[in-house]
Amino acid sequence: MIFNQYALGVKCCRKAHKGGGVCNLIDVNLHFTNIIMDKYSKEKDIAICSIRVYTPPCQTMVMMVYRSPIGDITNFLNTLETAIDKLYNNTTNLIICGDFSINYLSDNKEKQKLNSLLKRYSL
């Protein structure tokens, strides 16, 4: 991979604790803008950032999410829902990616709650 073809689109890093956070590298030929999401990030519970990519004839919003395995899962899910609600609409594509620190290899409450949340937004 050639990294000089990419620019740092947006990033969100922990301030008080080392490690953790999310970022987006985007092709330098794409037009994009940052979406301010700072108020949704909380140390150890959720790091979140987003960009809007303009790819005519549509727009795509990409949300990057990180949850620390030791973070509060209830706060993570509530905050994620609030952030999705801010960005979600029927005319724009929404892609959510990242590390949710939820075990998808077994059936568990965290997996069920996240699936339920994503299903409400047809994600």
Give residue-wise pLDDT tens across range 25-71.
888 888 888 898 889 988 888 989 899 998 888 889 999 999 988 89
pTM of the model as a whole: 0.85
Answer yes or no: are the C-beta atoms of 7 and 55 closer than 8 Å. no
Strand runs (DSSP E) across the chain, as ranges? 6-13, 21-27, 31-35, 47-55, 58-66, 93-99
Question: Exposed, middle or buried: residue 97 (CB in 10 Å: 0-12, 13-18, 19+)?
Answer: exposed
Give residue-wise pLDDT tens across range 19-28.
667 777 888 8
Range of the domain at 72: 3-120
Beta bridge partners of 22: 12
Task: Tally the domains of the chain.
Answer: 1
Beta bridge partners of 66: 47, 99
Q: What is the CATH number of the domain that holds 95?
A: 3.60.10.10
